Amino acid sequence: MSRVYVLAADKELPLWDAREERTRESGGFSITLTQGFQVEKLDYYRRAVEELGYPMKPFRYQLALEKEETDLKNLRAYLEANCFPGETLELWNVWLSGDVNKKCPPGFRGRLADLDMDALEQFLSVEELCFTITI
């Protein structure tokens, strides 16, 4: 079972890597990890995502994203740089459990201008969800 964040669009989008080294404290130790915003091809999970049968836009990318202001800023900058005003994209938070008979997750619509930390936290914390964002 795996959680996957998917960016789905009506057109091909460029890959993007804005990951950075981040230090976290855990159990009295400092751990440095490479984390952050990234858009990459949906290869490894493509088949499992397609088997869900959700009505996703045709061009699908795996999204790496953390609940960080920097990641929100990078996501917004990426969408603004690669999409036109009025264009819509989908951000999917899906759980790949092998159950292909589950219902499509709830969907919400909003403008990119309204995508804030509260919305990002909601997106990252629920079991499954689709945000349709209008640029």
Residue 123 has pLDDT above 80, yes or no: yes
Q: What is the 3-state secondary structure of the chain? A: CEEEEEEEECCCCCCEECCEEEEEEECCEEEEEEECCEEEECCCCHHHHHHHCCCCCCEEEEEECCCCHHHHHHHHHHHHHHCCCCCEEEEEEEEECCCCCCCCCCEEEEEHHHCCHHHHHHHHHCCCEEEEEEC
pLDDT in tens, 42-95: 999 999 999 999 999 999 999 999 899 999 999 999 999 999 999 999 999 999
Q: Is 130 exposed, middle or buried (0-12, 13-18, 19+ CB in 10 A)?
A: buried
Under the banding of pLDDT at 50, 70 and 90, the label for residue 130 is very high
The residues, ordered by sequence, that sit 6+ positions from 3 with a Cβ below 8 Å of its Cβ are 93, 94, 95, 96
Q: What pLDDT sits at residue 8?
A: 98
Average pLDDT, the chain: 90
Please compute Rg for the chain using Cα positions. 15
